[in-house]
Structure 1
Amino acid sequence: MKKLILAVILLLVAAGAVLYLSPAAQLTVYQGVEQWRAGLHERSVSVNDLKFSYYEGGPQGAETVLLLHGFGADKSTWLWFARTLTERYHVIIVDLPGFGASDRPHGSYDVGTQTERLATFVDALGIRRLHLAGHSMGGHIAALYAARYPDQVSSLALIANAGVTAPQRSPFFQRLEEQGDNPLLVDSEPQFDELLDWLFVAPPQFPERLHQYLAQRAVADSAHQREVFEHLLDRYVPLEPELPRIQAPTLLLWGDQDRILDVSSIETMQPLLKDVNVVIIKGCGHAPILERPEESAADYLRFIDQASRQTAEAHKATPRQ
């Protein structure tokens, strides 16, 4: 009962913030409420003079789930998705270097470099086994991590991941290759609305002041995002040679109306993976974790529950030495 009352109070505070606080404060309060509802706490750790900011929640001692965000995003994109996971799993959501509240190191942001930075983060937290999931660019990094460190990964979920050549070229790549225009980079406030249309079938609706603030923030950060994207292209690491090295059961989860990375990417990946499950969400765009968080989280939870049961049964069947 006390928890319900506190939830109501927090929601009222958030509603008040929308009306009276600055847009930056509105966003802080809103994300703080969602963070609380997901049972997550913000933490940081420094590894080799590089600060990683991350959320952590769920029961200590439970199996660990590590979530990686996509390009131009940060750890907050997982807040709605993570809410059901923290009931049974130890959940960590990290800001990859160069994003969110983590440091922006000098050097490259290609997926190979980011994978090795992630490995130092996992080691610093003392994690020996994990369920790994990534969205878009984060999925590219997650797949590469699972290929390079197969003994650490209990399961892998790739959500509209980058890194493979799709049989059907997406509208995003058609525009990028034919016109040299990248819709993911926001150089003016009107382009922010275009970005939302590219990412979602049904774009989220924000209060006007908050919407304007998010657009202005994206414009202010466009030079850095452009640099990161150039690194991703210039030092591209294709996943096709890496996927056969992945030992963990793998979930491929996609929106059927993804305009950024075409759903036909699944056709490329499926034959290369040893143990694969496929979920395609109808009427959904590039970001199921934001557009359909409850549905995609339920699909993911079923997948990792099954992977956990299989691991437990395998351990029981293994004779003791």
Structure 2
Amino acid sequence: MQVSTAPSTNSIPGQYWQWRGHKVYYVRAGERQSQRPPLLLVHGFGASTDHWRKNISGLYQDFEVYAIDLLGFGRSQKPKLQYSGDLWCDQLHDFISEVIGQKAVLAGNSLGGYASLSVAAKYPDSAAGVVLLNSAGPFNDNPPTSEPEALQSQIQPPKQPSPIQKLLGDSVKWIFQQPLSQLLLFQYVRQRWVIRQTLEKVYLDKTAITDQLIDEIARPAYDEGAFDVFVSVFSTPQGEKVDVLLKQLTCPLLLLWGEGDPWMNAKERSQKFRQYYPQLTEYFLQAGHCPHDEIPEQINKLLRDWVLSMK
């Protein structure tokens, strides 16, 4: 294992870990607690460890806290690979094994939630518990439920289109599979005003959308390799279905829902989760897609109390 320090906009300096020949960025705060598992915070699509800064500062006095940039995001390297849930699942599992060194509670938002659930389901020796905040991931016969899938759904036809809709839908999909179209779309979505507009759709409290937040999301999109990551994630096949993962899960599960999320129906997805894992704990909160950033005090308290209550 190779670790080196790196600059950070957080007050806590980050480090790099070498994984499969690539630099992976992470932040560690707090001291190891003999009776409490470490926490591993995993961001969503287009975000990074910066998105957890309010949670790290609120939790590190009670726990050893880690936050990691998934390969292809944040300050982690952006090699030209096929990005998928399986890749990030392996990354998180190896990080827990090599860096943390013991079972951790994984807390993930959106795409990071799906990756965290995958780790807990496939590698039970890595997970002491899982916290999902508006977690992405497909159930069988379910509509899109993640940021990339939500973006795709805006340019794809409905499930039962008319012949004209199908023709137009196939044409649009073909256009966006072309390199020039993909480059133009990438150049568009990384503009600061577009990022702000997107955040305003998924945050209930608009005051949480600060210039710092927009900077933190925009900055990695100008890194070398960011375009290749965008193309790969945009075209990546769906991973294992959430219901299949839940059937394999053996550790405690906490769901924290921002009810105002326009990208997913929290109540409907809650019922699906309960159908396959009825022993879960969950809370519905007045927030959007990223409740950990929008209402961090509430999230920190719920997460802290839940972990401390675990047997």
User: For residue 251 of structure 1, what is the aligned residue in structure 2?
Assistant: 254
Larger RCO (alpha carbons 8 Å, 6+ apart) = 2
Partner Cα distance (2:38, 2:146) in 1: 36
AA aligned to 2:31 is: P
Amino acid at match of 1:105: P
Of 279, 283, 308, which aligns to 2:283? 279
Superposition deviation, residue 126 in structure 1: 4.8
Conserved? CA contact 2:48–2:74, under 8 Å: yes
Once the two structures are TM-superposed, the CA of residue 274 in structure 1 deviates from its matched residue by 5.4
Distance 1:136 1:96 in 2: 13
Report the CA distance between 1:187 and its aligned residue. 5.0
Aligned-residue offset at 1:91: 0.7
Query: Which residue does the alignment assign to 2:200?
Result: 197
Aligned to 2:31: 59
1:104 aligned onto 2:98: no
- Contact kept in structure 1, 2:89 and 2:119, CA below 8 Å: yes
What is the aligned counterpart of 2:270 among 252, 258, 266?
266
Match in the other structure for 1:75? 49
> Alignment identity in percent?
20
Q: Aligned equivalents of 2:252 and 2:146: distance in 1?
A: 30
- Shift of residue 171, structure 1, vs aligned partner: 11
1:43 counterpart = 2:15: yes
2:60 matched to which residue of 1?
A: 86
| Aligned amino acid, residue 307 of structure 2 | I
- Structure 1 residue 176: deviation in Å? 3.8
The answer as to whether partners of 2:107 and 2:130 remain within 8 angstroms in 1 is: yes
Task: Quickly say closer, same or farther: Cα 1:275–1:151, change in 2 above 3 A.
Answer: farther
The aligned counterpart of 1:302 is 305
Q: Deviations over 1:13-70 (max 9, x none)?
A: xxxxxxxxxxxxxxx88x33xx3xxxx4412221331222111011134421111110
Amino acid at match of 1:257: G
- Mapped partners of 2:259, 2:146: distance in 1: 13
Q: Which amino acid aligns with 1:292?
A: I
Once residues 253 and 238 of structure 2 are traced to their aligned partners in structure 1, the CA distance between those partners, rounded to angstroms, is 25
**1:189 CA drift (Å):** 4.2
Deviation digits for residues 142-161 of structure 1 (CA, Å, limit 9, x no counterpart)? 00000011122111101101
Question: Where do residues 1-321 of structure 1 align in structure 2 (5 Å cutoff)?
Answer: 31-32=9-10, 35=11, 40-62=12-34, 63-165=37-139, 176-177=152-153, 179-180=155-156, 186-203=189-206, 204-206=208-210, 217=219, 220=222, 223-224=227-228, 226-232=230-236, 234-263=237-266, 264-273=268-277, 275-282=279-286, 284-307=287-310, 310=311
Cα-to-partner distance string for 1:192-212 (whole Å, 9 max, x where unaligned) = 2321122211233435xx688
Q: Which 10-residue stretch deviates more, 118-127 or 183-192? A: 183-192
Matching residue's letter, 2:16 = S
Q: Give the Å deviation of 1:112.
A: 0.9
Aligned-CA RMSD value: 3.1
Compare 210-219 and 268-277 and name the one that shifted more. Answer: 210-219
Aligned twin of 2:161: none
Shift of 1:248: 0.7
Match of 1:277, as an amino acid? T
TM-score, reference length from structure 1 = 0.74
- Matched residue of 1:83: which SS? helix
Listed as ranges, the gaps of 5+ residues in structure 2 are: 1-6, 157-171, 177-184
Tell me how far apart the structure 2 counterparts of residues 149 and 217 of structure 1 sit (CA, whole Å): 33
Provide the rounded CA distance (Å) in 1 between the counterparts of 2:56 and 2:126.
21
Q: Deviations 1:82-125 (Å, cap 9, x if unpaired)?
A: 22221121111111111111112332210011111222222221
Over 3 Å counting, the alpha-carbon distance change for 1:241 and 1:206 in structure 2 is: closer
Query: In the TM superposition, what is the alpha-carbon distance from 1:130 to its structure 2 partner?
Result: 0.9
Report the Cα distance in structure 2 between the residues aligned to 1:130 and 1:113, rounded to whole angstroms: 19
Q: TM-score, normalised by structure 2?
A: 0.76
Give the secondary structure class of the aligned counterpart of 1:242: helix
1:20 corresponds in structure 2 to none
Shift of residue 239, structure 1, vs aligned partner = 1.4
**Structure 2 vs 1, CA of residues 130 and 216 (structure 1 numbering), >3 Å: closer, same or farther?**
closer
Which amino acid counterpart does residue 299 of structure 1 have in structure 2? Answer: L
2:162 matched residue in structure 1: none
Cα pair distance change 1:178/1:212, threshold 3 Å: closer
